[in-house]
Amino acid sequence: MAASTLPNPGLGTYRLEGDTLKQAIHAALEAGYRHVDTAQFYANEETVGEALRDSSVPRSDIFLTTKVWFDRLAPSDVKKSVDESLARLKTDYVDLLLIHWPSPNDEVPMRDYLTALKEMKAEGKARHIGVSNFTIAQIDEAVGILGKGEILTNQIEVHPFLQNRRLVQHCQDLGIEITAYMPLAVGKVMEDPVLKRIADSHGVTPAEITLAWIKARGLVTIPSSTKARNIKSNLEAFDITLSEADMRDIEALDRGERIANPQMAPKWDE
């Protein structure tokens, strides 16, 4: 499997703010993370920027992702949104710029906002571009607009209870990386008896088993944590080798349980 452009894992920052967020970023960078994921919608870009500025790790060594919210998809708004994000993040560029959600009911034509996204890359404001929460049909439309090789990733919800196999395979077939968000299903993996049994057999936690499973599937992931020990163990999880039986048992946990399903979400693939 080709090496990922995205450092794996990254630190997710959704719902983190203030000193808690700063401490999480410093702990992650100290542990060896080099990928930080934020978004305009998280309202924490300014704090992320301060934490990165205060870090001893050079900005050039950090892969920084942010996202444009669905109400800023008109081309002029995409550009304003990006400039605002860069100002808050105290940087001239992001490494990855994503469309956070496709425009609900195609209110803004995809060609319009993806063309604006590509222009941000051409202007040097983003090193890479991608999408988030796009379905198979929307990925195909996006590739038709931008051409193959332009979309780095589709960031989607993936965890043992929502494995999204068809969409994952479709993106991988097109050379688009999958970034799995909510990999621990907001803590639900910790209570699952199958994951607990596999974790016990490896002498680790269900969270670590879940992250090892995501890595084994060839996915990038961005777990969020505020505790330094969990941030470190999330990274160490990538050293765990799961057996074929482990993988099969986790595969059987898929029940299509979607956690991120807001009103403006697209019609999901079954």
pLDDT at 3: 58
- Mapped onto helix, strand or coil, the DSSP state of residue 182 is coil
- Residues 131-141 pLDDT 10s: 999 999 999 99
- Catalytic one of 14, 33, 42, 181: 42
Domains present along the chain, CATH in parentheses: 11-185+218-223 (3.20.20.100)
- Band of the pLDDT at 193, cuts 50, 70, 90? very high
How far is 258 from 266, CA to CA, in rounded Å?
13
* Pair 97, 67: CB distance under 8 Å: yes
Closest CA to 29 of 51, 50, 4, 46: 51
Instruction: Report residue 240 as tokens.
Output: 């765990």
* Pair 36, 25: CB distance under 8 Å: yes
Closest CA to 7 of 83, 50, 55, 64: 64
pLDDT at 4: 75
Burial class (CB in 10 A: 0-12, 13-18, 19+), 101: buried
Query: Does the active-site annotation cover 42?
Result: yes
- Per the listing, tokens 């919210």 go with 69
Prediction pTM value: 0.96
- Residues 24-63 pLDDT 10s: 999 999 999 999 999 999 999 999 999 999 999 999 999 9
Half-sphere exposure of 114 (CA within 13 A, CB side): 24
* Pair 28, 9: CB distance under 8 Å: no
The H-or-E segment that residue 23 falls in is helix 18-31
- Band of the pLDDT at 1, cuts 50, 70, 90? very low
Looking at residues 157-173, what average pLDDT do you find? Answer: 98
Looking at residues 237-249, what average pLDDT do you find? Answer: 98
